Structure 1
């Protein structure tokens, strides 16, 4: 996966740790092929006595871009929530898969991956934000690709490969719920809160063992599925907090 220029401040990027020092770590920002630095104060929320307890050379981590200049890109690990990291890594893996398919298309057209990026790859990223969209539209709306100036020989080859290689994947996101209600009718209160969320967000609710429950949502768009689970969990907790008890959730 390649991108031109520099990442933006606050952007999430996938990095490979290349060198570790007592007070910092240097990382390669894979999407942009740039180098960045993680200061020891940005490694973890708690005090870091030994940076090597948290980071290893050749480790892949998701970082948040804190500042950008031509000499140094400052990165942070601690300012990335776990669910953000999981989502970014999932997106990165899909982009790498799309890049492999783009390379296959280039090879069948007698070209290299470098040629593919120069002729259509960077245009696709600018127009649609990601390479995976190239293969999505190849199946759903190839005329849109032509309207964006992508040559017909590329569109025809991408459509051919997309139909063979890209299928609509169903994503599943889960959230654990910890619920204890101290009211005399606590069981009924919990039941109503769960059923209301189930109907509103079309999610599956599983009883694990008191006081643990699990919310499950499925769909074709990972971000939407995750948002659906999060919104359901937050609404359940919000409704239950009117009563005495212990309530929390975590995206798995």
Structure 2
């Protein structure tokens, strides 16, 4: 992707390549360009030594503050932990998917470079990523043909997908605290927790007054949003009977 620039506000995977007294040079792996993290953008608190937060050759997720041909300004402190985990997981899956694409090309007697030259641009334009290509190869292989891939490539990709590709399931957990001083408070608790179970969430008793709320799915951010939404619904309803709070597990 040499020559392309990220968008302002985008989250990007970076490798720390050099540390200066008041900044760190980070290589944007997905764009093959370098950016700069100023010491003021490393952490929300005062930073005495930037090396306490980043090391050379470390992979981190950064927020793009500014992206111009001559300067790319990055921030670490603007990235939430959950978003960093999600982005790194996506990055790892995309690198693995690139390996699978290489295997598909090899089955047709082509190198990775030849494979990318032949179908790489088409895949990115039509599917957005190599990972999405292999996901669709498992779910809807007929869609690959409608996007312009030839029969030989479809067969090679589907064969590799069936043997090697498995969609990752993300799990998001949080702690519900429910306290009721009503005589039938236990029944109120059962009632609101049943609502979560009916919507596909797992609920486990930890110890009074704590309950573990668990959501699962293929998209981390979507699962997190659903867990937050059902937790908000439960706490809002339960406050008519007592005290309620929720905290997402880090």
Give the TM-score taking structure 2 as reference length.
Answer: 0.88
Matches of 1:65 and 1:29, distance apart in 2: 10
Matches of 1:215 and 1:4, distance apart in 2: 45
Counterpart residue number, 1:247: 245
**1:124-171 deviation per Cα after TM superposition (whole angstroms, max 9, x unaligned):** 222222111111222222232222222332222111111111234443
Paired residue for 1:184, among 181, 184, 196? 181
Counterpart residue number, 1:234: 232
Counterpart residue number, 2:137: 138
Which deviates the most, 82-91 or 186-195? 186-195
Counterpart residue number, 1:14: 13
Change (3 A) 1:242 1:81: farther
Aligned residues: 248
The SS at the match of 1:231 is helix
Aligned counterparts, 1:91-240, within 5 A: 91-177=90-176, 179=177, 181=179, 184-185=181-182, 189-199=188-198, 201-240=199-238
Which structure 2 segments of 5+ residues have no match?
A: none
Give 1:218 deviation, angstroms: 2.5
Counterpart residue number, 2:40: 41
Change (3 A) 1:161 1:205: same
Q: For the Cα contact (< 8 Å) 1:83–1:251, is it kept in 2?
A: no
Matches of 2:224 and 2:11, distance apart in 1: 17
Q: For the Cα contact (< 8 Å) 1:230–1:251, is it kept in 2?
A: no
Counterpart residue number, 2:79: 80
**1:194-244 deviation per Cα after TM superposition (whole angstroms, max 9, x unaligned):** 333332x32111122234321112334444333322322232334445677
Change (3 A) 1:56 1:242: farther
Counterpart residue number, 1:67: 66
Matches of 2:48 and 2:240, distance apart in 1: 42
Change (3 A) 1:135 1:72: same
Which deviates the most, 41-50 or 165-174? 165-174
Matches of 1:5 and 1:241, distance apart in 2: 51
Give 1:67 deviation, angstroms: 0.8
Give 1:189 deviation, angstroms: 4.8
Q: For the Cα contact (< 8 Å) 2:235–2:244, is it kept in 1?
A: no
The SS at the match of 2:119 is helix
The SS at the match of 1:25 is strand
Matches of 1:20 and 1:237, distance apart in 2: 46
